[in-house]
Structure 1
Amino acid sequence: MQFVSVGLTLLGLGLAALWSMPPFWVPFLYAVAYCLVLGWHLFSKRPADTALWAAGPVNTVLVLVSISLGLAGGYLGVRAIQGRQLPPVDIVDIAPPFGPGTYIIANGGSDTIVNSHLHTLDPAVDRYRLWRGQSRALDIFRIKPSGLHMNGFWPSDPALYTTFGTPVLAPCSGAIELVVDGVADMQVPQMDRQHMAGNYVALNCGEFFVILAHLQKNSVRVRQGDTVEIGARLGEMGNSGNSSEPHLHVHAQRGLPEDSMLGGEPLALTIDGRFLVRNDRITVDAP
C-alpha cells in the first residue's frame, strides 16, 4: 500500500505541478529512483522470519498518511489527465508566437488543475466578466537546454529570466486592433493589479482575435491599424501587469468588446495543431 501510495503521489505531482523550477526532467529522476527502490524491496532476500508488516502505532500512522497522500496524488493525476482532453468549445489554430528556442507551458489545458485561467469562466464572480476572454489562455516560459529558465534562485530582476526580452511574433496575418505599451515591468514576484494584462497587442486574425500580453515596456513595434504577416515581430516578452515572473500570455477570443477588451468569447487554442497543456514543451528550430 505504501508503494502504491507513493507512486500515485509522484504521478499526481509529476502531471499537475509546474516543472520549471526544478526543471522538467526532475520527475523522471523521481520515477527512476522509485522503480529502483521498489525493485530492491521486491527482489532483495529477507530472512525467513522477517514479516512484511510489523503492526504498531507508528507504522499504522505512516501507512494512513501514505494512503492519504496517494489518494490526493491520484486525484491530481486524474484531473491532470482530464485536462489534456480538448474542451467542447470552438478551437482555433495559430502559428508559434515566438522564434527559435525551447519553451514550456506554465498554464494550459482544459482543467483548472493545469490551467488557472479557467477560473474566470465562473459566472458567479462578476469581476471575471472583464477577463472572460482569457479563460483558455496559455502562459509560456522560454527555457534553456538544461531546462532552467532563470539565472540564480528566483531573482527579483526580470532581466535574469531567460524569457525576458524574447521576441514575440505575430501568430497569424491580420490587422493590429489595439496596442498598450509603456506599463512598467515589475520586480519578481510583485504584480501590477491596476494593469492586469500589462503591455499587450490585440491582433485581428479574421474570425477571432489573439491577445499577446505581459510584454516588455517600450518593446512593442506595431501600432493600431498596422497590418502584419505571420512571423512579424510585435514586441518582446516581459513582466508587466499581473505577472509573477516573466512569461508570455496568449489567448484567443471572439470579439473585442469596447467596455472590456479582454471580455470576448473565450476560444480554445492550438499551436501548429497541438493542444498544449502544463509542462508540455514546444521547440522552434532556427530557419
Structure 2
Amino acid sequence: MIFSIIQLMIMQLILPVVFIISLWKGSFHSKLDWMVQMIFSVFFISWIFFSSPWDWFSYYLRFIWPILLLFAIYMSWKKARSLPTRIKYDSKQKWSLGIYGVLLVVFGMYNVLVFSGYSTDEQAIELDFPLKNGVYYIGQGGNHVQINYHNEYPPQRYALDIVELNPFGARASGIYPKQLDKYDVFGDELYSPCSGEVLEARDHLPDLIPPEADSERPEGNFVNLKCEGKDANVYIAHMQEGSVEVEAGDFVEKGEHIGLVGNSGNTSEPHLHIHAEKDGEGVPIHFNGRFLVRNSLVW
C-alpha cells in the first residue's frame, strides 16, 4: 500500500508539475517542437484528470492542473510563435522530439480507452442510489479497467466502489488512517436500491483494520437482492458487522433501511461495493439515469 501511495503522489503531484513547468519554461527550436510537447502535456493532464482516483488527496486538486496547463500553454506559445515551423534537427533534437512523439501517442491512446469506459451498449437496470445525506464519490466505476478494475471480472464488470468526501474533497482524515471512523463513509446508512426479495444476507464478520482483508469471504457482510422487474441480482457488500437488518426470505421496499457501510470482507478500506449480476455476468447500473464512472459525484 505504501508503494501505491507513492505511485499516486508521483502521478498526481510530481509529474504534472514537471511537465507543466517543462512546457512553460522550456526552450523550443520550432513550432513543431512546441506543438508535440504541448499536445503530449494536454494528453497527460487529461489522462490523470479523468482516470486517476482523486479522493486520496483532494477531489478539487484535479482542477488545478488544467488551469495551470492553460497558463503554461499561453506563456510557452508567446515564445514559440516567432519560431520557424520546422528546422533541420540534430540527433539530440530528433531524440527529444521522438520521445515526446511516442509519449503523445501512448497517452492519446490512454485517453481513448478511458473515454470508451464512459458508456456501454448493454441494457442497464435503473436503481435508486443507496446512500443519502452526503457527497459521494465513485472510486471505481465504468466500462474499462483504466477507471474500474472490476471490469476484468465478468460477474462484477460494472461494479461500483463508493466513498464519501469530506469538505476538503478527501475520503478520510489522513492519507490512509487505520481508525475506521476517520473514513467519512464508515457507518453511513444504507437503503435498498430496489424492491425485491432478499436471497442472501450475512451479518457476523468483523470490520477489519486497513489494510487487512478477508479474501476467503470477499463480500464480507452483504445483502443479495432479487429486484422486482429487473431480471438481475443486486449485491451490496462490505457492510458493518451487526448492522444488517434483513434476512434471506425477507421482502424489502425500495428505500428501506437495510444496514450500514462497514469494512468487512476483501476490502482495503471502508467503502460501499454494489453491482448487479445476471447469470454470472455483470449488468450495467443506472442511478437516476446516470451511468456512474470514476470521479463521478452524487449528492
TM-score by length of 1: 0.83
Answer yes or no: is the 8 Å Cα contact 2:57–2:175 preserved in 1.
no
Which structure has more helix as a fraction of its residues? Answer: 2
- Match status 1:144 vs 2:179: no
Answer yes or no: is the 8 Å Cα contact 1:168–1:237 preserved in 2.
yes
- Match status 1:99 vs 2:121: no
Q: Which residue of 2 aligns with 1:114?
A: 147
- Equivalent residue in structure 1 for 2:284, among 253, 268, 276: 268
| In structure 2, distance between residues paired with 1:212 and 1:204 | 12
- Match status 1:73 vs 2:73: no
Q: Which residue of 1 aligns with 2:180?
A: 158
- Equivalent residue in structure 2 for 1:233, among 243, 257, 280: 257
- Equivalent residue in structure 1 for 2:63, among 4, 23, 28: 28
> Per-residue deviation at 1:83?
0.5
Judged with a 3 Å threshold, the aligned counterparts in structure 2 of structure 1 residues 69 and 51 are, in CA distance, closer, same or farther, namely closer
- Match status 1:89 vs 2:122: yes
- Match status 1:196 vs 2:229: no
> Per-residue deviation at 1:146?
2.4
| In structure 1, distance between residues paired with 2:62 and 2:86 | 28
> Per-residue deviation at 1:26?
1.8
Answer yes or no: is the 8 Å Cα contact 1:12–1:75 preserved in 2.
no
| In structure 2, distance between residues paired with 1:281 and 1:145 | 13
Judged with a 3 Å threshold, the aligned counterparts in structure 2 of structure 1 residues 49 and 252 are, in CA distance, closer, same or farther, namely closer
> Per-residue deviation at 1:56?
6.5
> Per-residue deviation at 1:60?
5.3
Q: Which residue of 2 aligns with 1:179?
A: 201
Q: Which amino acid aligns with 1:274?
A: R
| In structure 2, distance between residues paired with 1:16 and 1:100 | 26
Specify every segment of 5 or more residues in structure 1 that has no aligned partner in the other structure, as ranges: 122-131, 256-263
Judged with a 3 Å threshold, the aligned counterparts in structure 2 of structure 1 residues 166 and 39 are, in CA distance, closer, same or farther, namely same
Q: Deviations over 1:61-111 (max 9, x none)?
A: 55444333333321221111111122x323100001111111111111111
Answer yes or no: is the 8 Å Cα contact 1:13–1:76 preserved in 2.
no
Higher relative contact order (CA 8 A, sep 6+): 1
Specify every segment of 5 or more residues in structure 2 that has no aligned partner in the other structure, as ranges: 1-35
Q: Which amino acid aligns with 1:14?
A: F
| In structure 1, distance between residues paired with 2:295 and 2:83 | 47
Q: What is the total number of aligned residue pairs between the two structures? A: 262
Q: Which amino acid aligns with 1:80?
A: V
Q: Provide the alpha-carbon RMSD of the alignment.
A: 2.4
Q: Which residue of 1 aligns with 2:17?
A: none
- SS of residue paired to 1:200: strand
Q: Deviations over 1:135-191 (max 9, x none)?
A: 221111111232111011211222211111111110111222210111122222222
Answer yes or no: is the 8 Å Cα contact 2:138–2:295 preserved in 1.
yes
Quick one: percent identity of the two aligned structures? 29
